[in-house]
Amino acid sequence: MKSRRTTKAARALRAVQAFLAAAVLAAGLLAGAPPASAAGLVQVTGFGSNPGNLTMYSYVPAGLPAGKPLVVALHGCTQTAADYYNNSGWAQLADRWGFALVLPQTGAANNALSCFSWFDSSKDSRGGGEALSVKQMVDKAVAAYGSDPSRIYVTGLSAGAGMAADLLADYPDVFAGGSIASGLPAQCATTQSAAAGCQNGSRNLTPAQWGDKVRAADPGRTGPWPRVAIWHGTADTTVAPVNATELRDQWTDVWGIGQTASATQSLPGGTTLSVYNDSTGRPAVQLYSVSGMGHGLPVAPGSGTANCGQTGAYFLNTLCSSYWTGLFWGLDGGTGGTPGTLPAPAGLAVTATTDSTAALAWNAVPGAASYTVYRNGTRAGSATGTAYTDTGLTAGTGYAYTVAAVDASGTTGAASAAVTATTTGGSTYPATCWTDNNYQQVAAGRAHQSGGYAYANGSNQNMGLWNLFVTHTLKETSAGYYVLADGGCTP
């Protein structure tokens, strides 16, 4: 006769297997869609003894100088490094802000559903298994790309997020910060049979007990500690939302700060940001709770400054978590911290164009001291009023603009929706316009793809990821020369 303990463990194991089987069914919803390009990914070999039997992929923007940050991104169950590269938005931000990406990949040889083993103490602990394999990838990338060893970060989704939390605890001397999306506290479970208890409800531990799990992962460590972003949907039925609270408890305790937020803020996508500052007043832990979101990584496709990522199985259209996490870590060149509290300006419109200028106007934002204008995602200039004229542009060319309010302290708020201004002149060619997804624009010869992104032929304007989820209007202004014209196209 089986013991009560054995029966209970068997039930827990079956619960985990059922959850993973459901994940496979959900992933199957993408069947029939053309695969997104992973052309920008490069497999890297010879990165060490690799005790965790992982595969290393990397993406390094062309011409990236030494001394830039490095982000390690871990996929979820049933996913691959290419899935995370294509959909999470991190590759777009690497191009925009300038940093290298490492994307570890596990497979069926390690776990039947290609999950990182966040629940196995033989694989997720310092100095061994998958954890050591990831550390060896970091060492390889620092040597190969000249990455700044003081600015290395790790992020992940679901099982990848559980492993990211473990890595932050295992190697606080390596990672300056982390981001855990729909994940679990560090070292929550030590066996697969115990994993269901973490996923499905509270473990009823105090903040100090959670913090002890981090401190025990690297004995003798007294700090400094990584700065941690936590993302979770309130409607997640795969990994219970209480895990976000327990993550908050764990990392605030490690930092020696309380569990009462220093500040709260409303962000797009029904997201509430709770900030927990360290003793110097700088954010150490940030908790992003996404109202009504299920299990997945928040993304927000589009051309605005705060947009990135693509939707798909477990990539959910709310707001771009990678963008907000990057701001928290200071990847945009800032010091990192709480995004500005000012809302996005409304009513942004193109009021006039010439062959070399584009005039913009927008509605005032209460409390704004000035406004920053972005052209194609890069800062173009600033204004103290609600109008701006961009100069030095190319005739017959489309430009995407957004604007953000700046408060008296110099903190920039949320960016507006994008508008497209197309300069006049350039050609008397009888222009023709096409609106289609990027995949078909490339197939028709109006654009080309490189590194997984589509670029308009002629103007070489970046159109976003090369797949069916991104749609643009292209205008042919001369034979074989195409410009973005999303704001309107008159042949």
Domain boundary residue among 371, 396, 422? 422
Question: Region 114-135: what's the mean pLDDT?
Answer: 96
**pLDDT of 301 higher than 80:** yes
Half-sphere exposure of 155 (CA within 13 A, CB side): 27
323 and 388, same domain (yes or no):
no
17 and 87, same domain (yes or no):
yes
152 and 264, same domain (yes or no):
yes
In 3D, which of 221, 273, 280, 283 has the Cα closest to residue 252? 283
371 and 439, same domain (yes or no):
no
All residues at 6 or more sequence positions from 154 whose CB lies less than 8 Å from its CB, including other chains: 71, 72, 73, 74, 134, 164, 167, 168, 175, 177, 178, 179
Percent of the chain with pLDDT over 70: 87
16 and 64, same domain (yes or no):
yes
Reduced to 3 states (helix: H, G, I; strand: E, B; else coil), residue 8 is: helix
CA distances from 16 to 20, 79, 107, 109, 125 (A): 6, 17, 18, 18, 21
**pLDDT of 374 higher than 90:** no
131 and 213, same domain (yes or no):
yes
Which of 114, 147, 158, 274 is catalytic? The answer is 158
pLDDT in tens, 434-489: 899 888 888 888 998 766 678 888 887 878 777 777 888 888 877 778 888 877 77
Residue 387 domain boundaries: 349-422
Q: Residue 141: how many CB atoms within 10 A of its CB?
A: 23
Residues 304, 297: Cα–Cα separation, whole Å: 19
pLDDT in tens, 193-209: 899 999 999 999 999 99
Please check whether residue 59 is in contact with residue 40, taking contact to mean a CB–CB distance below 8 angstroms.
yes
User: Is residue 472 assigned to a domain?
Assistant: yes
pLDDT of amino acid 490: 65
CATH at 135: 3.40.50.1820
Instruction: Work out the pLDDT band at 19, boundaries 50, 70, 90.
Output: very low
The residue behind tokens 């299990």 is 295
321 and 455, same domain (yes or no):
no
Strands 462-465 and 453-456: antiparallel
184 and 116, same domain (yes or no):
yes
Domain boundary residue among 329, 358, 385? 329
Domain boundary residue among 422, 444, 465? 422
- Please tell me the least confidently modeled range out of 82-96, 247-261, 362-376: 362-376
Number of domains in the chain: 3
Instruction: State the average pLDDT for the chain.
Output: 86
Tokens at 12, concatenated: 């827990």
The residue behind tokens 């310092």 is 126
Residue 193 appears among annotated catalytic residues: no
291 and 364, same domain (yes or no):
no
| Residue 67 phi, psi (nearest 5) | 85, 15
CATH at 404: 2.60.40.10
pLDDT of amino acid 117: 96
258 and 404, same domain (yes or no):
no
User: Is residue 491 assigned to a domain?
Assistant: no
127 and 232, same domain (yes or no):
yes
